[in-house]
Structure 1
Amino acid sequence: MSWLSKLQHRPSIQADTSARSDITTTALHGSQDDNRCLFQTFEWHTTSQPPPPNATHSPASHYARLTRLLPSLAAIGVTAFWLPPGCKANSPQGNGYDCYDLWDLGEFDQKWTRSTKWGSREELADLMGRCRELRLEVVWDSVLNHKTAGDGTQEAWAVEVDGEDRRVEICSPKKIEAWLRYDFLGRENEGMKYSPFKWRADHFNGIDWDQRAQKNAIYKLVDDPATYPKPQQQSDGDGGGGGMNRLARLAGKMKSAPPPRRPGKGWAEDVDDMHGNYDYLMFANVDFQHPEVRQDVLKWGEWMVQTTGVDGFRLDAVQHFSYNFTREWIARVRASSRQNLGRDAFVVGEIWTGEVERITKWLEVVGQGVYAYDSPLLYNFSRISEDVRTGSVNADLRTMIRNSLLETRPEAAVTLVANHDTQPGQASFTPMLASLKPLWYAFILLRQEGYPCVFWGDVYGTKGPKAEPPACTVDDGKRGRRSLIPDLMMARSIFAYGVQKDYWDAMSCIAWTREGRAGNGGCVVLISIGPAQDKKGQAKWTVKRMPFGRPGEVYVDLLANVGERAEVRIDEKGEGLFPCRGMSAGVFVRQDAPGIERFPVAFNQDAYGQ
């Protein structure tokens, strides 16, 4: 009796043979080119030992480490690398989201270091060169919204605003002293190399610290009130709250028209409307209404393409700066990319929200061909995970793409399971059952829609106070553990092609098939959130009958260890009974398909030991 025949005689199996009645078919998207896979090359606590100021290279820098890791990652299907923000930060160990100087990629001795945390300009050039040799694309993480660690203070007129509604001023204009003077002394010593622009108070519209008063607040920078009169306001006893009692507003008890806008300098209007106006996020907020600012940042984007050869950009916190400037910036960068690289630059924007409309609003402004991270999909993964963890009857895989970018704008969706913002200990930490991560990775990697992004921390593990080992690990059959993520990435590279048919007919188990392309026969994928065991402790399985392949062909689950793989024989009707154990994923391919000999994938997950 075959393994599958024995399996089907177990009483704990739930046989689901109605799948054929609910099939949706989507056309093959794009060409027969290899599938793309983006890899995030860092987590929040990635360690790096960059070269000292008197050196250009260090074997322990992250850039050097990545250069060594590139071949092994390319071998499992990575086609593009998302590098961390590599501009000079406000300290030697700053991750780059605390950006100080866009034009310093680890070249100038400023902020107590020549290199960035990630490495030197020379090491970056080595990394880029190796990517070119391996035909890998590079996506640069760009922090345009704010600056940190000014070189000196300046006086500026400002008003404090309500943190819950940044349109509401809660004091009269006053002079504050803020760290808004940027001289870039390291570049200045070399003749202001690359850009002569020095930033001053006029180039910002918000700050969170008044040095003179030693006070933390959200300050909106405004024009001298002698130049521009303050807006008409109705006194309501809340310090100038714009015609609405603050406590009532916070309690949601009252509604009123938006407070009048102060003329002249202030927040950008073309940003997300959370908190009334979400231009301000943190640190010294860049004012993209200033023409000198616009020109410098536009030139920087062109310079990055021309001098480093990056293939694309990840734009940090895009809901916090002018959508129209972003559109102009993307157009300029793409024109430069076409001229220098012969193709459009890839651009993806980051917006953390569960409301997909906020993402599509940004996409509609910035132009065609731009991507965004599908944060609503990630939150759906978390929601279903929490439903499973708590035993909720609402756990339903069929709701996975509901109100996601993958549902509304699949051509613009970069899909992900986790990143540096959602890992444990971060402000945007998103809970997710570790046992379900293989399902979510199978979903983003093996489907037709979306451009999947795999997280460094899930492949290599994370460090820091809440360190975690690599995700999605299973028994390797040799008294060790191995991760399924490299297998899923390789499966995407080899098998996940062709017309897709969905079998989304049960809350706890869904499936889809990919017809494949010439020579490999495609794949059948199942994921299940059903119980892994019955009350007697026996493995519990779901079986779906699906048409696939040709009569007599045998399909095996490539995620299992050799010798433990479930086998499915296609019957005379061209159908097979495909099994999936609860709380797991199954990926079935023809047992003689070219490439199957590469599974399980041998992959070294010790990034710091290589």
Structure 2
Amino acid sequence: MEILKRLWHTYNSPRDSTTLSSLDTMDLGPTKNTENPVMIQFFTWDCKHPEMSWWSFFEKTVPDLESLGFTQVWLPPPHKAMSKNGQGYDAYDLWDLGEFDQKGTVPTRWGTKSELLRAVAVAKQHGIDVIIDAVLNHKLGADQRERFEVTPVDPKDRMKEIGPPRVIEGSTRFNFPGRGSKYSALKWNHNHLTGVDWDHTTKKREVYRMANKTWSSRVDDELGNYDYLLGVDIDHNHPEVVKDLLAWGNWVLQTTGGNGFRLDAIKHIDRQFLRRFIQHTRQLTNRPRLFVVAEYWSADIKRVMFWINAYGGLASFFDVPLHDNFWRASEAGPRYDLRKILANTVVSLRPKDAVTFVDNHEQIGQSLQSWVLRGFKLHAYALILLRDEGHPCVFFGDLYPNKECYDAGTASGLRTLLKIRKNVASGPVADYWEDANYIGWVRRGRGHKICAVIISNADPASSSKPHSIRMFVGKGHGQDAFKNAFAPRSAGIKLSGDGWGDFTCIRGGVAVWTLLSNIAACV
């Protein structure tokens, strides 16, 4: 019993933020490009280019990404989906990167294998690493049906059986007729799975557990047990499955030139398997600093901390609680106390494990409705890009034209923030968080790498008088003018002799003050 108590304490207690954690042990970009690393998620849910494949568009965009300071690109799942236009989260064949005629197409939604390899090679030439989206929880689009015995369970409590075992007909056999046995000889059937949700005989949708199996105990306890998510659920304890997925991890990186993984839907996957997957891939590829970021979607910091600790530094985690704070702040407007914006987040408790973000593909018309409103978007990006905690990830939809969520003003402001991060955001953070509706901070690096930031969520109609925060930016700049990168033609300010300045921001706005000599590189 005492051992169990100690294990519970280990997995549920936050470690000290100075403890060596995941981001300290992983490459956040090429070794030659390590200052102010930043990632971009290079897709939206429905993105398509009207004139070229997505991989070719990515290749064409690489020089712009480099100019903005990106060191990593997270690409959409590169494998063959269950349908021609599937995004890849409807995973059919991990070993088909757009090479074989399967599911009515040779290319994936994103393009052909050769286009992918060429785009990755160009990215590497420009000092940008590529992160592969690994969808390892489930499969969809089976080639044949089988009959097998299952036990129906309560969809709201998967540990509760709601009927006796029965024989159903399910889509569970994957033969991969287009690929055959090239790269992998495994042909999947119901023995490689733990659950399904559709019986073709009765045309009834339920959650069915394979009658001779149990759910993994090393998954999230939401809904009693969250092993099953959708499609046909992969059994990560089956020896043939484990062998195949471990081999794929090494193969996909070696084949594409990728530099790490984004792990999809980890709350549904046996964490012992995923730990082994990460360790095995790092060993086989001889990349001990291989980058890994896990998607565990929950705004509950206690749950997120449990999983961070369970992975023991093997993976960084998207800071969903921070995203949730951004969303709530955008909805509440002036009623939200900005001094609490980082409260109960991964970046505040474990900054060396946090991949920070504002929005992603899940927020637009998908299952996770928490889109950060336009009026707070740049405020949120300033908080992840211009501070020194966490590893920021920018969303394609906020930066490049698209049909789902593009706003030209947001994109322009985001470009400014990225250039500031690349050129002048350096050194530790000093906070000046003295008011519920406006907060400020300073990053004072070496030489002229200095920026003073203020964000405000006050109602612009409440007053025409701007906010002002007195902040210390360092001695030796008394004769130098500071300009606001978001209003470079407006009046500048000069510091007092002791290195302090009164920095201003319009109500509801974002202001980033830096030396006049830096402005040209930031706008």
State the TM-score, normalized to the length of structure 1: 0.78
**In the alignment, is residue 291 of structure 1 matched against residue 239 of structure 2?**
yes
Structure 2 counterpart of 1:577, one-letter code: D
Separation (CA, whole Å) in 1 of partners of 2:350 and 2:409:
28
In the alignment, which residue of structure 2 is the partner of 1:503?
432
Superposition pairs of residues 293-332 of structure 1, within 5 angstroms: 293-332=241-280
- Give secondary structure in 2 for the equivalent of 1:510: strand
**In the alignment, is residue 577 of structure 1 matched against residue 502 of structure 2?**
yes
Q: Which residue, 452, 467, 470 being the options, matches 2:407?
A: 470
**In the alignment, is residue 543 of structure 1 matched against residue 479 of structure 2?**
no
In the alignment, which residue of structure 2 is the partner of 1:202?
191
In the alignment, which residue of structure 2 is the partner of 1:213?
202
Give the superposition deviation at 1:48. Answer: 4.3
Describe the shift of the 1:459–1:374 C-alpha distance in structure 2 as closer, same or farther (beyond 3 A).
same
In the alignment, which residue of structure 1 is the partner of 2:379?
439
- Give secondary structure in 2 for the equivalent of 1:266: coil
Structure 2 counterpart of 1:370, one-letter code: A
Describe the shift of the 1:293–1:134 C-alpha distance in structure 2 as closer, same or farther (beyond 3 A).
same
CA contact under 8 A between 2:330 and 2:375: conserved in structure 1? Answer: no
In the alignment, which residue of structure 2 is the partner of 1:520?
448
Give the superposition deviation at 1:411. Answer: 0.4
- Give secondary structure in 2 for the equivalent of 1:483: helix
- Give secondary structure in 2 for the equivalent of 1:488: helix
CA contact under 8 A between 1:514 and 1:522: conserved in structure 2? Answer: yes
Separation (CA, whole Å) in 2 of partners of 1:501 and 1:370:
28
After superposition, give the CA deviation of every residue in 1:548-590 in whole Å (9 maximum; x if it has no partner): 1332332111122x423x4121012221000011111111111
**In the alignment, is residue 34 of structure 1 matched against residue 23 of structure 2?**
no
Give the superposition deviation at 1:369. Answer: 4.5
In the alignment, which residue of structure 1 is the partner of 2:106?
114
**In the alignment, is residue 563 of structure 1 matched against residue 489 of structure 2?**
yes
Q: Which residue, 171, 177, 184 being the options, matches 2:176?
A: 184
Structure 2 counterpart of 1:434, one-letter code: R
**In the alignment, is residue 75 of structure 1 matched against residue 67 of structure 2?**
yes
Separation (CA, whole Å) in 2 of partners of 1:65 and 1:33:
25
Separation (CA, whole Å) in 2 of partners of 1:521 and 1:203:
55
Structure 1 counterpart of 2:93, one-letter code: D
After superposition, give the CA deviation of every residue in 1:388-419 in whole Å (9 maximum; x if it has no partner): 1xx63xx1011111111111211011101100
Give the superposition deviation at 1:472. Answer: 4.2
**In the alignment, is residue 386 of structure 1 matched against residue 331 of structure 2?**
yes
Describe the shift of the 1:418–1:438 C-alpha distance in structure 2 as closer, same or farther (beyond 3 A).
same
CA contact under 8 A between 1:306 and 1:336: conserved in structure 2? Answer: no
Unaligned runs of 5+ residues in structure 1 are: 1-25, 50-58, 224-264, 474-481, 601-610
After superposition, give the CA deviation of every residue in 1:333-355 in whole Å (9 maximum; x if it has no partner): 11133x2xx55210001011111
Separation (CA, whole Å) in 1 of partners of 2:357 and 2:169:
42
- Give secondary structure in 2 for the equivalent of 1:314: strand
CA contact under 8 A between 2:278 and 2:314: conserved in structure 1? Answer: no
Give the superposition deviation at 1:438. Answer: 0.7
Structure 1 counterpart of 2:362, one-letter code: D
Separation (CA, whole Å) in 2 of partners of 1:127 and 1:139:
13
In the alignment, which residue of structure 2 is the partner of 1:529?
457
CA contact under 8 A between 2:117 and 2:257: conserved in structure 1? Answer: no
- Give secondary structure in 1 for the equivalent of 2:198: strand
Superposition pairs of residues 7-46 of structure 1, within 5 angstroms: 33-46=34-47
Structure 2 counterpart of 1:541, one-letter code: P
Give the superposition deviation at 1:220. Answer: 1.1
- Give secondary structure in 2 for the equivalent of 1:168: strand
What is the number of residues matched between the two proteins? Answer: 493
CA contact under 8 A between 1:94 and 1:117: conserved in structure 2? Answer: yes
In the alignment, which residue of structure 2 is the partner of 1:407?
348
In the alignment, which residue of structure 2 is the partner of 1:88?
80
After superposition, give the CA deviation of every residue in 1:248-296 in whole Å (9 maximum; x if it has no partner): xxxxxxxxxxxxxxxxx12111001111101111110001111111110
After superposition, give the CA deviation of every residue in 1:500-552 in whole Å (9 maximum; x if it has no partner): 111112111111111112x33321111111122336xxx33110011113323
CA contact under 8 A between 2:157 and 2:225: conserved in structure 1? Answer: yes
In the alignment, which residue of structure 2 is the partner of 1:244?
none
Q: Which runs of 4+ in 1 moved over 4 A?
A: 29-32
**In the alignment, is residue 455 of structure 1 matched against residue 395 of structure 2?**
yes
Separation (CA, whole Å) in 2 of partners of 1:454 and 1:568:
31
Which structure is higher in helix share? 2
CA contact under 8 A between 2:358 and 2:372: conserved in structure 1? Answer: no
Give the superposition deviation at 1:365. Answer: 2.2
Separation (CA, whole Å) in 1 of partners of 2:246 and 2:266:
15
CA contact under 8 A between 2:197 and 2:231: conserved in structure 1? Answer: yes
CA contact under 8 A between 2:39 and 2:394: conserved in structure 1? Answer: yes
Q: Which has the larger radius of gyration?
A: 1
Separation (CA, whole Å) in 2 of partners of 1:153 and 1:48:
35
Larger RCO (alpha carbons 8 Å, 6+ apart): 1
**In the alignment, is residue 270 of structure 1 matched against residue 218 of structure 2?**
yes
State the TM-score, normalized to the length of structure 2: 0.91
In the alignment, which residue of structure 1 is the partner of 2:366?
426
- Give secondary structure in 2 for the equivalent of 1:334: helix
After superposition, give the CA deviation of every residue in 1:360-405 in whole Å (9 maximum; x if it has no partner): 22222223252110011000011112211xx63xx10111111111
After superposition, give the CA deviation of every residue in 1:145-170 in whole Å (9 maximum; x if it has no partner): 00001000111211111111111110
Describe the shift of the 1:485–1:402 C-alpha distance in structure 2 as closer, same or farther (beyond 3 A).
same
In the alignment, which residue of structure 2 is the partner of 1:20?
none
Separation (CA, whole Å) in 1 of partners of 2:219 and 2:449:
47
